[in-house]
Amino acid sequence: MPAAATTTESPSLAGLAGEILRLKAERRAVILAHNYQRPEVQDLADFVGDSLGLSRRAQDTDADVIVFCGVHFMAETASILNPSKTVLLPDALAGCSMADMISADRLLDLKEAHPGALVVAYVNTTAEIKAESDICCTSSNAVEVVESLPKDAEIIFIPDKYLGGYVQSRTGRRLILYDGWCPVHMEVREQGIAALKREHPRAVVLVHPEAPLEVSAMADIVCSTEQMVKAVAAHSAGEFIIGTETGIIHKMRRENPGKRFYAANDLAICPHMKMNSLQRVHAALRDLKGEVKVPESLRARAWLPIQRMLDLGLPYKESFVGCKC
C-alpha cells in the first residue's frame, strides 16, 4: 500500500470544504463516499451509497480522478472497474478487518478441498481473493447472485459467515462457509435491540446481514445500507432502530427530517471508515496522493467476477429483503 496522505499546510476547517470543491473542479474529480463515512465527508460527496452503488458509479464516471471515501477494497474495486482513472483513497491505511481475515493461500486450500466448487466472494475482499473467485456479490444482491448459479453447483461463500448464513436461510442452498466476520457488526446485539424495542415499541428494526444471525432474526427488515436508506424513506412508520454502522444515520436523518432513528449500538463504529477526514480528502486532491492501482495481470483476473456480478443487472429491490412489516 502507498504511504498515507499528509495533512501539512491544510487550510482552516472553515475553509476546507470550499477548498476541496475548488480542487475537485480543477482536478476534474468526483468524490464517492460510502454510507459509513463521517457526516462532513458525506455532505461533500457527489454520491453516497453502498458497495454496489459505488462500484457502478466508479465504472460509469467520466471524471479523471475518483476520490474514494471508503476502505481499501472499495477503492481497489473502483480501480479494477475503471483502470484509466486515478483512484485516490484519502487515508491509504483505511482497510477492512473482514477482508483481512482471508488470504489467497487459505482460499486456495478451500478450493483444493472442494474441487469444482464455485466461489462467491463478497466484495469485502482483496483483488487477490477476487482473482481466485468465480463471481462477486454485495450485501444488496448476495441472495440473487447465489440463486443465479446452477442448482447442483457446490458453492464456497467467502469471507463473511453471517452474510453466508443469511443467504443460506433465504435460498435454502447449502453453502461452504468461511469463518470471517465484521467486528463492527458484532456490536449490533440482541440485548441492545430488545432494550430499544421496549422503549420504542412501534419502531421498525432494520439489520444488516453482516450482523449475527440471531440479531437478523429480530429484524423486521434485513438488507444492505442502501436498501435501508430506501426502506426508511418509503416506510409509513416514524421510528426506526438501525442495526448497522452508525454513520448511515446521518443520511437517514438528513433525508427524513420528520422521522426518528436510534442506533442499535452507538459503539458500532468502523474505525477504518472514519479514517477519511476532510483534511485527508483535501490533501489527497491537492497532492494526488494515496493512489490505489492494481497490476494489470491481477486486475484482469479480479475484474471478471466483479463484472459477472454487474452483468446480472440486479436492481435494488423495491420490496425489501426479509421485510416482516
CB-wise, 24 or 38, nearer to ligand SF4?
A: 38
273 contacts ligand SF4 (rule: CB under 6 A): yes
CB-wise, 27 or 77, nearer to ligand SF4?
A: 77
Closest CA to 58 of 281, 313, 307, 308: 307
Choose which of 270, 275, 278, 302 interacts with ligand SF4 (CB under 6 A): 270
Residues 58-117 that bind ligand SF4 (CB under 6 A): 71, 96-98
CB-wise, 31 or 96, nearer to ligand SF4?
A: 96
> Residue 176: what are its φ and ψ, rounded to 5°?
-90, 110
Query: What residues are paired with 207 via a beta bridge?
Result: 222, 243
Whether 282 contacts 10, CB under 8 Å: yes
The alpha carbon torsion through 305, 308, 310, 311 (nearest 10 deg) reads 170
CB-wise, 81 or 184, nearer to ligand SF4?
A: 184
Query: What residues are paired with 155 via a beta bridge?
Result: 118
Q: How far is the CB of 99 from ligand SF4 (least distance, A)?
A: 6
CB-wise, 18 or 183, nearer to ligand SF4?
A: 183
Q: How far is the CB of 194 from ligand SF4 (least distance, A)?
A: 23
Number of shown-chain residues binding ligand SF4 (CB under 6 A): 11
248 contacts ligand SF4 (rule: CB under 6 A): no
Q: How far is the CB of 71 from ligand SF4 (least distance, A)?
A: 5
Q: Tell me how many helices (H) and strands (E) the chain has.
A: 14, 12
From the list 187-195, 233-241, 270-278, 296-304, the region that binds ligand SF4 by CB under 6 A is 270-278
CB-wise, 38 or 272, nearer to ligand SF4?
A: 272
> Residue 108: what are its φ and ψ, rounded to 5°?
-65, -40
CB-wise, 102 or 273, nearer to ligand SF4?
A: 273
Strand residue runs (E) in the chain? 29-34, 47-49, 65-69, 86-88, 118-122, 135-137, 155-158, 176-177, 204-207, 221-222, 239-243, 260-263
CB-wise, 86 or 225, nearer to ligand SF4?
A: 225
140 contacts ligand SF4 (rule: CB under 6 A): no
> Residue 69: what are its φ and ψ, rounded to 5°?
-90, 90
Q: How far is the CB of 300 from ligand SF4 (least distance, A)?
A: 25
From the list 246-254, 255-263, 265-273, 275-283, the region that binds ligand SF4 by CB under 6 A is 265-273
CB-wise, 7 or 97, nearer to ligand SF4?
A: 97
Q: State how far the alpha carbon of 307 is from the alpha carbons of 19, 40, 55, 57, in Å.
A: 36, 32, 10, 14
Give the three cell numbers for residue 19: 477548498
> What's the CA gap between 261 and 319, in Å, rounded?
21
Choose which of 38, 272, 289, 299 interacts with ligand SF4 (CB under 6 A): 272
> What's the CA gap between 142 and 122, in Å, rounded?
8
Q: State how far the alpha carbon of 113 is from the alpha carbons of 146, 160, 193, in Å.
A: 20, 19, 39
Residues 158-187 that bind ligand SF4 (CB under 6 A): 182, 184
Q: State how far the alpha carbon of 250 is from the alpha carbons of 35, 50, 242, 256, 280, in Å.
A: 9, 14, 12, 10, 20
Choose which of 245, 283, 289, 290 interacts with ligand SF4 (CB under 6 A): 245
Tell me which residues touch ligand SF4 (CB under 6 A): 71, 96-98, 124, 182, 184, 245, 270, 272-273
